[in-house]
Amino acid sequence: MATTTGASVQLIRNATILLEVGGTTFLIDPMFTPQGEMPTVTDNPEVPESLTTENQRRNPLVSMPDIDLSYDAVVVTHRHPDHFDEAAKEELEVDVPLFCQPEEADAFADEGFTDVRPVDDEVSFEEVTIHRTPGRHGHGELAKGMGPVSGFVFEADETVYVAGDTIWYEPVEETLDRFEPDLVVLNGGEAQFEQGDPITMDVEDIFAVREATDATVVVVHMEAVNHCLLTREELRTETEDVHVPEDGEQIGTDQ
């Protein structure tokens, strides 16, 4: 558990992170399935011939790093299987405080979780105030079909904005303006289906966030699911002052 002031995020894998803020540790979007034990996302755009075999591997593409998974509460931005999977449902303690979207609270309760805390607007936990924020999981009609998604802002001694699966659009900019976070966590990867535009942030979206805030910006949700086509190397090459951690790496507001 966190014992110091400030805030940090440790990437586990994909969008699974440990967030330390206000002396409290949150496990966000747990995906615990072992490497290769989830289906391939087959509805993905064609990629260069050299990447075709890579792009058809079963998910997750990589294993979990060997790190301590101690936490005080769980937050699920939405219930897509790369954010909350069967393995997490089996491994999490049923009485863990679990924060989620109101639309998905009944599903967690039906699975046996006994301390489900839907966030309509804001709630408090320990010394942290948790705000739910809007997200748009793609563009146009595709975004509607992806269902509701949320981001969350964690306010304590420092403020952290975990944007969740969203593209750059006006409510993201409004969230940055309203809360003036010290640390922002974005889901990159430019996840894409065969039809339509990306459903998570691409380079242009991430650049827009970088331009809109003075916060430490950390990008996750990369190189773990086969339809996420933007690599860490590409993002590092095409952006400045953006942290792109490896699995297991921790980034703090003092970096």
pLDDT tens, position by position, 171-202: 999 999 999 999 999 999 999 887 789 999 99
Domains of the chain: 7-240 (3.60.15.10)
Angle at 88 between CA 131 and CA 66, to 5 degrees: 100
Nearest partner of 128 among 97, 91, 150, 102, judged by Cα: 97
| Residue 50 confidence (pLDDT) | 41
Nearest partner of 187 among 158, 155, 146, judged by Cα: 146
Residue 194 burial (CB < 10 Å; 0-12/13-18/19+)? exposed
One-letter amino acid of 81: P
Nearest partner of 37 among 55, 16, 58, judged by Cα: 58
Residue 185 in 3-state DSSP?
Answer: strand
What is the number of other CB atoms lying within 10 angstroms of the CB of residue 3?
Answer: 7
C-alpha distances (whole Å) from 115 to each of 75, 76, 97 are: 12, 13, 5
pTM comes to 0.93
Q: Tens-digit pLDDT profile for the chain (255 aa)?
A: 333 458 999 999 999 999 999 999 999 999 999 999 998 886 655 444 444 455 567 899 999 999 999 999 999 999 999 999 999 999 999 999 999 999 999 999 999 999 999 999 999 999 999 999 999 999 888 888 888 999 999 999 999 999 999 999 999 999 999 999 999 999 999 998 877 899 999 999 999 999 999 999 999 999 999 989 999 999 999 999 999 999 999 999 987
